[in-house]
Amino acid sequence: SQQGEEDPQALSIQEGENATMNCSYKTSINNLQWYRQNSGRGLVHLILIRSNEREKHSGRLRVTLDTSKKSSSLLITASRAADTASYFCATDRLEMDSSYKLIFGSGTRLLVRP
C-alpha cells in the first residue's frame, strides 16, 4: 500500500522558476526520502531527512519535514530542463515486527520548459 501521496500529480514550469512538490503520509516514520526517476530509468536517491530534522539542503534542493502534520515538501530552485523527471517521496518506517519498509508515494511528474 502507498504511504505517501504527492501533490501535485503533475507540474509544468518555465526554466529558472522554482518547483515545489508536497508529500503527505499516514503513519509515524523513521525518515523520509526523496527520489527522482527519469523516464525509463531507475530511481535516484536525492535527499534523506530524519524524523528529528525539520529542514535539509543539498545544492538546489531544499526539503522540509513537519511530523506534526505528517507532511514534507521538496523545493527545487532555479529549475533546469534537465530537472524534468518524476519525483517520489518515500517513508522509511519501523514495522510492528521490527522490520523496516521504504514505502513510495505516487509521484509528481515535473516538466521544466526551456
Partner 1 sequence: DAGVIQSPRHEVTEMGQEVTLRCKPISGHDYLFWYRQTMMRGLELLIYFNNNVPIDDSGMPEDRFSAKMPNASFSTLKIQPSEPRDSAVYFCASSLGPTARGYTFGSGTRLTVV
Residue nearer to partner 1 on the CB measure, 41 or 54: 41
**Interacting residues toward partner 1 by CB under 8 A:** 2, 30-31, 33, 35, 41-48, 88, 92, 95, 97, 99-107
Residue nearer to partner 1 on the CB measure, 84 or 86: 86
Comparing CA positions, the residue from 72, 57, 61 lying closest to residue 18 is 61
Residue nearer to partner 1 on the CB measure, 2 or 12: 2
CA distance 25 to 5: 6
Q: Closest distance between partner 1 and the C-beta of residue 48, in Å?
A: 5
Region at 110 (left for phi over 0; alpha for psi -120 to 50; beta for the rest): beta
Residue nearer to partner 1 on the CB measure, 6 or 83: 6
Q: Closest distance between partner 1 and the C-beta of residue 87, in Å?
A: 13
Q: Closest distance between partner 1 and the C-beta of residue 88, in Å?
A: 7
Q: Closest distance between partner 1 and the C-beta of residue 106, in Å?
A: 5
Q: Where are the beta strands (DSSP E) in 1-114?
A: 5-7, 10-14, 19-24, 31-37, 43-50, 55-58, 61-66, 71-76, 85-94, 100-104, 108-113
